[in-house]
Structure 1
Amino acid sequence: MSVSKIKHDVDIVWEYKPRFRLYKDGSYERNDFPDVPPSLDDPITGVSSKDITISKEISARLYLPKLNSPNQKLPILVYIHGGAFCFESAFEAYYHDYMNALVKEANVVVVSVEYRLAPEHPLPAAYEDAWNALQWVASHSDNEAKIEKEPWLINHGDFEKFFMNGDSAGANIVHNMIMRVGTEKLHGDVNISGAILAFPFFWSSNPIGSMSTENNMQSYFCNIWGFIYPLAPGGIDCPLVNPMANNAPSLAKIGCSKMLVVTGKLDVLRQRGFEYVEAVKKSEWKGEVELVDVEGEDHCFQMEHLHSQKARDLIKRMAYFIMK
């Protein structure tokens, strides 16, 4: 959306430089980075990628590592990108390069989902798109499913090793997907083997640390949530963004057997991630949850600094989670 009149810094409610600005009057600026094309046999990683259409609303970029044999079966990973539900794309270089690195390290088939963004499509649109994409992938395990099946998933996907991963808002979506899987079946009775929540976007009306209640409720997390989901039941204590809310469904319903939650010691969302892990541990969920807290790093640093040693180490840790 182009802003019709001159705006000043004092008018900014929330911003993520240089990608997005939200102003007091509800107008916004989104700086979309250009998409990059998929590639066959990437020269650095050997990973191949291609773009597909899942439905009218949903598309995706698929990734396939270099194979050891023509019939090799590999774990499947459904990836949900971040961007505060209102910017970023599965097709931009930021995610394309990261997916290539992760696919090479984990030796996994990835479906990186392009979902609808707010405010053009306010929440819960992104949640529904993610669920429909997840069901579409799972339907490839069902011989009776009446879809045009994707050869990379049919020929190389191992539906006994089915994972989800997301960062920031994408990690929030992943949480809500595994909660839904706990009460609703996927096509072919596919089970989620595990989920990786990297720097998850959770918030609540309860302040953390030295933050006052007033400052907490005026934080840009509250502002952006109200912008992307103006009709959210419970506002910032909607269970979709506050899994520990009083009216939230029990975390014992999480529909996978293991989770890896990643936080960074410089990330403002770090404490929310800690609270989530503790709440999962205290629930009656029968799975295993692990926490990785990266020293000296901020929100989603592994994509910002993809070639740093700490980013490589984190990608190896994620790959180990999938492969073990």
Structure 2
Amino acid sequence: MASTTKLEVLTDLSPFIKVYTERLLGTPYVSPSPEDTTVASKDITISSNVSVRLFLPKLSDPMPKLPILVYYHGGGFCVESAFSFQYHRYMYLLSAVSGALVVSVEYRLAPEHLLPAAYDDSWDALKWVCSHVLDQTHPENDQWITNHADFNRVFIGGDSSGGNITHNMAMRAGSESLPGNVKILGAILSYPHFSGSNPIGDESPEAIAQHLAYRLWLSAYPSAPNGADNPSINPLADGAPSLSTLGLSKLIVNLAGDDDFTPRGSAYADGVKNSGWKGELEVVVDEGEGHCYHITDPETEKAKNLIKHLASFISQ
């Protein structure tokens, strides 16, 4: 995967000192796809904080109403983008195979914008999508969504930190109404970024403190109440809201055998299963694969099969 170096001023105390952020991981920005391709895409600015890239597959004419997927990219809350090569490629493939209208969300990143900024931006993007059901003629509506979205088939999804965001959006949708009382039908959590202070499985307290998920969380949300046991990062923490309140009807959790995020993801799936939640839960574990493997290298046979499986989850 190509890397990019991006220096941004975090603190400016000129003429004495400037503190910079340097992003060491990520893929380059790419432009939207033209409308004469298999999947057209375009960028929309929702607010000063939030933008999205929309993906519309080329289907039959007249085009039927399509399921809609609101997607949150991964990157530890601090790198990557809805406009990057890696996520553009993945959203293009998923839209093409599923026949879904995809809304890929560009949310604010830490450390310039500490959590809960990314959560707030992600909820605002979901509300913006759902608001199209209220007034189909509103001049500020996006016509792709107005003309093609099936609001009875709204999905949310994400990988790694985006999977964490997806969980938090599903919990919020269980307690707070979306515009037009739109309901989320399903969610995709791929290799979700969860953490916690208590060991799981063979973990030791020392291993937890060194785990990337733990360190990224403390960096991205240093003011989080209860630290790594905040319910946003540890849905199984004492006092966390019951997972039975997830605001959707079906859920798929993707895990990988060679991913050290998997023990927490597996425990999360068990927690959902044992919570009394009334929806349908599916857990997919790909042995011998690593974290987000189907996004970083979507051309392998396993990756293609997983993308087809996720597309079927959305399109059924």
TM-score when scaled to structure 2?
0.91
1:303 pairs, out of 266, 270, 295, with 295
Structure 2 matches for 1:255-274, cutoff 5 A?
255-274=247-266
Of 108, 127, 131, 1:135 maps to: 127
Q: 1:244-255 to 2 correspondence within 5 Å?
A: 244-255=236-247
Taking the aligned partners of 1:146 and 1:252, their CA distance within structure 2 comes to 36
Q: Is residue 2:23 matched to residue 1:30?
A: yes
**Cα RMSD after superposing both structures:** 2.0
Map Cα deviations across residues 29-87 of structure 1 (whole Å, 9 max, x no partner). 204532100012465xx110001111110001000001202342100110100000000
Tell me the equivalent position of 1:60. Answer: 52
Q: Residue 198 of structure 2 is aligned with which of 202, 206, 221?
A: 206
Question: Following TM superposition, by how much is the alpha carbon of 1:217 offset from its aligned partner in structure 2, in angstroms?
Answer: 2.5
Give the distance between the partners of 1:94 and 1:224, measured in 2 at CA. 21
Q: What do residues 97-123 of structure 1 show as CA deviations (whole Å, max 9, x unaligned)?
A: 111110011000000000000000000
CA deviation digits over 1:190-238, x for unaligned, max 9? 0000000001001111113332113312333222111100001110000
Residues 179, 19 of structure 1: CA spacing in aligned structure 2 closer, same or farther, 3 A cutoff? farther
Offset of residue 279 of structure 1: 0.4
CA distance in 2, matches of 1:19, 1:85: 16
The 5 A counterparts of 1:77-88 are: 77-88=69-80
Q: Gaps spanning 5+ residues in structure 1: where?
A: 1-15
Q: How does 1:96-111 map onto structure 2 within 5 Å?
A: 96-111=88-103
TM-score (norm: length of structure 1): 0.89
Q: Distance in 1 between matches of 2:141 and 2:105?
A: 16
Alignment match, 2:270: 278
Gaps of 5+ in 2: 7-18
Give secondary structure in 2 for the equivalent of 1:127: helix
Please give the alpha-carbon distance, in whole angstroms, between the structure 2 residues aligned to 1:240 and 1:20: 29
| 2:56/2:101 contact within 8 Å kept | yes
Deviation at 1:145, TM superposition (A): 9.0
Residue number in structure 2 paired with 1:11:
none
The answer (yes or no) to whether the contact 1:257–1:287 under 8 Å persists in 2 is yes
Write the distance in 2 (CA, Å) between the matches of 1:145 and 1:188.
15
Change (3 A) 1:239 1:34: same
